[in-house]
Amino acid sequence: MKKNKGHLIKHILPGSIAEEMEIEAGDCLLAINGEEIEDIFDYQYLIQDEYVEVLIRKADGEEWELEIDKDYEEDLGVEFENGLMDDYRSCCNKCIFCFIDQMPPGMRETLYFKDDDSRLSFLQGNYVTLTNMSDKDVSRIIRYNMSPINISFQTTNPQLRCMMLHNRFAGDALKKVDRFYEAGIEMNGQIVLCKGINDGEELERSIRDLSGYLPHLRSVSIVPVGLSKYREGLYPLEPFTKEDAKKVLRTVEKWQEKLYSEYGLHFVHASDEWYLLAQEELPAEDTYDGYLQLENGVGMLRLLLEEFADSMERLKEQGMVQKWNGRERKISIATGLLAYPSIQRMAEQMCEAFPGLCVTVYPIRNDFFGELITVSGLLTGQDIIAQLKDKDLGEALLLPQNVLRSQETVFLDDLTVADMVKALQVPVNIVKSSGYDFTEAVLG
């Protein structure tokens, strides 16, 4: 019989149950209530009860069985060496639109890893294709009542889905959605739209089919395929035009109107890029159903503008304009082409409200991935430096937080904030994504 390797404990929280029970960093968790732990979801589910039996193997190999009485859902207070408590599952598809296939060689290894792990849908909000999910995985999600799961649909046409994902099981994988629906599992969906492939009538079909999963499928975002300049040998895909974007928006609006009257949800949402490409105003805030898909760029700019307007009102109410009293401050902001018009408008309003404040906004062209990539989250340090090195940046340069790796000060191309400060000879301030953080950072 294979020996249970267990899960290595990295840290014990002070004052926790684990500390009280003399569990230590370096110990291994083997089982809870006699059940072996596969990953973090087994752990979180099995640890909930008010009475649990926990099997620990100490660093010297001795095994302790601990009987623990605690509050319902109270955690032991342990952190594991691996947050998932298991290996990450890599993608088994070869999608025609995959952005990782469109990256240049020579970048850090982790950027080329394609995950399609349903567990990351719950932990990090990732979208999964369901092709990597076993019946056991589906049953476990239903048993643990885990919600929401984020699903990358692309199309509900089984044959077309097989072609787009380059996986002969991709059409059958959609049947798992029926099981989630019947179990009442909350879902969100996305469709990466590719011109001439899953748009037009195919998009109509997909929205019609997916609306049948309301109300458990709460939202579906439509996002345009991202096309970098590194597409040699890949499936030929074309960028969308202004007229294409307008057609997509009319389809989305038609379905929103129909479904809102029936379900009180707008359900299908176009990402911000479509409105900017079509040169149309962003929808009102209440159209976004509570911003269910911000990570997909759906409503991100609308939320930013709403928060900014609210923040400006508060600053006026607090008398900040009077307190500013003509103080002089000159700064610069760098952002992607997509957000530039909104950021520029906000900067102009602030300069008007606070005399003596001078803000210059620089739209950064994405030379690294190609000009069709316009989001700030894919800007590199080298592009920002190259396009700002001869500019008057004032007393500080502000950058949006999404240009950096999560929790780090490193850009996509491995340049650091310190590298940028040295190259541009100006302090670089990283600004969180909200409109409140924006006004605070601009005023310093």
What value does the mean pLDDT of the chain take?
93
Question: For the chain, give me the number of helices (H) and strands (E)?
Answer: 15, 14
93 domain residue, yes or no: no
Instruction: Tell me the mean pLDDT in the region 305-322.
Output: 94
- Nearest Cα residue to 62 out of 37, 34, 30, 35: 30
95 domain residue, yes or no: no
Centre a 10 Å sphere on the Cβ of residue 20 and count the other Cβ atoms it contains.
12
Instruction: Tell me the mean pLDDT in the region 7-31.
Output: 94
Angle at 234 between CA 411 and CA 124, to 5 degrees: 40
Same domain, 162 and 276: yes
Same domain, 312 and 248: no
89 domain residue, yes or no: no
- Its pTM stands at 0.86
Same domain, 132 and 274: yes
**Domain CATH number, residue 365:** 3.40.50
CA distance 226 to 298: 15
Q: Quick check: helix, strand or coil at residue 138?
A: helix
pLDDT value at position 288? 97
pLDDT value at position 41? 81
Number of domains comprising the chain: 3
CA distance 413 to 367: 12
CA distance 377 to 403: 5
Strands (E), 92-225: 149-152, 187-193, 217-224
416 domain residue, yes or no: yes
Q: Judge whether residue 299 has pLDDT over 90.
A: yes
End-to-end C-alpha distance for the chain, whole angstroms: 63
415 domain residue, yes or no: yes
Same domain, 262 and 307: no
pLDDT value at position 378? 94
- Of the residues 239, 272, 297, the one at which a domain ends: 297
Under the banding of pLDDT at 50, 70 and 90, the label for residue 179 is very high
Name residue, tokens 């100490």. Answer: 58
- Of the residues 22, 50, 80, the one at which a domain ends: 80
CA distance 63 to 29: 10
Same domain, 110 and 257: yes
Name residue, tokens 């159903």. Answer: 289
Give the pair of three-digit tokens for residue 290. Answer: 């509570």
Under the banding of pLDDT at 50, 70 and 90, the label for residue 219 is very high
Domain range for 183: 100-297
Q: What is the pLDDT of residues 231-262, one digit of tens each?
A: 999 999 999 999 999 999 999 999 999 999 99
- Nearest Cα residue to 21 out of 77, 59, 73: 77
**Domain CATH number, residue 60:** 2.30.42.10
pLDDT value at position 120? 67
Q: What is the pLDDT of residues 382-441, one digit of tens each?
A: 999 999 999 999 999 999 999 998 778 999 999 999 999 999 999 999 999 899 999 999
**Domain CATH number, residue 194:** 3.80.30.10
Same domain, 250 and 129: yes
Same domain, 107 and 206: yes
pLDDT value at position 1? 37
CA distance 102 to 109: 14
Same domain, 343 and 220: no
248 domain residue, yes or no: yes
CA distance 61 to 63: 6
Residues in the chain, total? 444
Same domain, 197 and 288: yes
CA distance 206 to 201: 9
pLDDT value at position 85? 73
pLDDT value at position 247? 98
Long-range contact set of residues 95-101: C-beta below 8 Å, sequence gap at least 24: 95/154, 95/164, 95/165, 95/166, 96/163, 96/164, 96/166, 96/194, 96/197, 96/234, 96/235, 96/237, 97/164, 97/192, 97/194, 97/225, 97/226, 97/235, 97/237, 99/226, 99/228, 101/234
Instruction: Tell me the mean pLDDT in the region 114-132.
Output: 77
CA distance 315 to 194: 44
Same domain, 276 and 145: yes
92 domain residue, yes or no: no
Same domain, 240 and 119: yes
Same domain, 323 and 391: yes
Under the banding of pLDDT at 50, 70 and 90, the label for residue 2 is very low
- Of the residues 45, 80, 115, the one at which a domain ends: 80
Q: Judge whether residue 359 has pLDDT over 90.
A: yes
Q: Quick check: helix, strand or coil at residue 366?
A: coil
pLDDT value at position 325? 86
Q: What is the pLDDT of residues 62-120, one digit of tens each?
A: 999 999 999 988 999 999 887 777 777 778 889 999 998 998 888 877 776 777 766 76
54 domain residue, yes or no: yes
- Phi, psi at 224, each rounded to 5°: -75, 145
pLDDT value at position 122? 65
Give the pair of three-digit tokens for residue 351. Answer: 């300069």
Instruction: Tell me the mean pLDDT in the region 318-323.
Output: 90
Crossing angle of helices 417-424/381-388, nearest 10°? 10
What strand order describes the sheet that includes 187-193? 149-152, 187-193, 217-224, 268-270
CA distance 198 to 202: 5
The residues facing 150 across adjacent strands are 188
